[in-house]
Each structure stands twice: as C-alpha cells, then as structure tokens.
C-alpha cells in the first residue's frame, strides 16, 4: 500500500450516469447560433484607413451618374490572391466575374463605378473594365478626386 497511502480512490463519489446527450444538444445549439447569427463580415478583410482615391485634374468635370453598382479595390490589386469589395462582401476574380454578370442583368443600362486605391495598377483596372464589358455593363466609371487647389500665397516665383 505504499503506492496509495491515503486510499483516495475509495473516498471519491461514484461517477455520474452518462450525460452524453446533453453535450450533443449544447453542441447543436452552439452550431445553430453561429449559423443563424453568424456573418461573413465578422472576420472578413476590410478597406482600412490607408485607402485613398487617386487625384486627377478634371475629375469633377468628367464625373457621371452611375447605377448602384460599385466595387472597391485596395492597392495591390486582386490577381495575387487579393480581393475586390462589392455589396456582397469580398470577392476573388472568379466571384467578381459572376457578380458582374448577375448585377448587369438587374438594370436596363448598367454603369459600374470602380473605386480603386491610388496604388492599383492600370493592368488590374483594364482587366476589370474588360470583365465589366463582357458581363454587360455599358460603361465603367473610375472614381478619382480633384487635386486640392493651392492657396495663391503659396506660389513660388522662379
């Protein structure tokens, strides 16, 4: 009896009867909670605070009314595993193509507004333009900001 000097095993309560069904019910309720109240946006990537539209002279003069079809692209583009953000959330290249086709059918003369960060390459913008035209969009409008006018007192004479 050197290995069990206090004989603790004899003083323990007997194990309770099986409650396996309770654990299955609780597990099912947890799964149902996440299914009903979960969202694909809880851990989805976002735009962040470093998102800036490019500046271009004449941006306001070239502005046009668009239909409610808007996509947003962060710098870095979407070809190398990046995403395009649309009303439905983050989309990869294949999902973007399907989304554009579905959205083009919702309006008589659809116009797509592309809000691309200043770091997005022209190749990515051209690819989006091509995808939108193939999907049925009649026009693709790229968002830009008008450059800020410098005050007259800041002019430097040469």
The CATH number assigned to the domain holding 130 equals 3.30.420
* Top-ranked range on mean pLDDT: pick from 23-37, 65-79, 101-115: 101-115
The reported pLDDT for the residue numbered 101 is 92
Instruction: Find the domain containing 95 and state its range.
Output: 69-142
**127 in any annotated domain:** yes
**135 in any annotated domain:** yes
**39 in any annotated domain:** no
**82 in any annotated domain:** yes
Q: What is the pLDDT of residues 46-93, one digit of tens each?
A: 555 566 777 788 777 777 777 888 898 887 666 666 678 888 788 888
**32 in any annotated domain:** no
User: How many independent structural domains does the chain possess?
Assistant: 1
Q: Is the pLDDT of residue 115 over 60?
A: yes
What is the C-alpha to C-alpha distance for residues 110 and 138, in angstroms, rounded to an integer? 6
Q: Is the pLDDT of residue 24 over 70?
A: yes
**98 in any annotated domain:** yes
* Among 3-7, 65-69, 114-118, 122-126, the least confident range: 3-7
**64 in any annotated domain:** no
The reported pLDDT for the residue numbered 124 is 85
The DSSP code for 106 is T
Average pLDDT over residues 107-128: 86
**35 in any annotated domain:** no
The reported pLDDT for the residue numbered 45 is 53
Largest CA distance in the chain: 102
The answer to whether the beta carbons of residues 64 and 139 sit under 8 Å apart is yes
């Amino acid at each position: 009896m050197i290995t069990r000097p206090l004989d603790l095993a004899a003083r323990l309560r007997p194990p309770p009867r099986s409650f396996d069904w309770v654990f299955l019910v609780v597990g099912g309720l947890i799964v149902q909670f996440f299914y009903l109240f979960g969202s694909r946006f809880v851990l989805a990537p976002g735009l962040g605070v470093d998102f800036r539209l490019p500046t271009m002279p004449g941006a306001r003069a070239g502005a046009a009314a668009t239909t409610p079809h808007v996509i947003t692209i962060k710098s870095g583009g979407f070809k190398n595993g990046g995403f395009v953000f649309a009303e439905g959330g983050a989309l990869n290249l294949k999902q973007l193509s399907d989304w554009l086709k579905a959205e083009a059918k919702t309006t008589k003369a659809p116009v797509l507004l592309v809000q691309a960060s200043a770091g997005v390459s022209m190749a990515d913008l051209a690819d989006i333009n091509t995808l939108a035209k193939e999907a049925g969009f009649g026009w693709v409008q790229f968002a830009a900001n008008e450059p800020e006018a410098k005050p007259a007192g800041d002019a430097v004479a040469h």
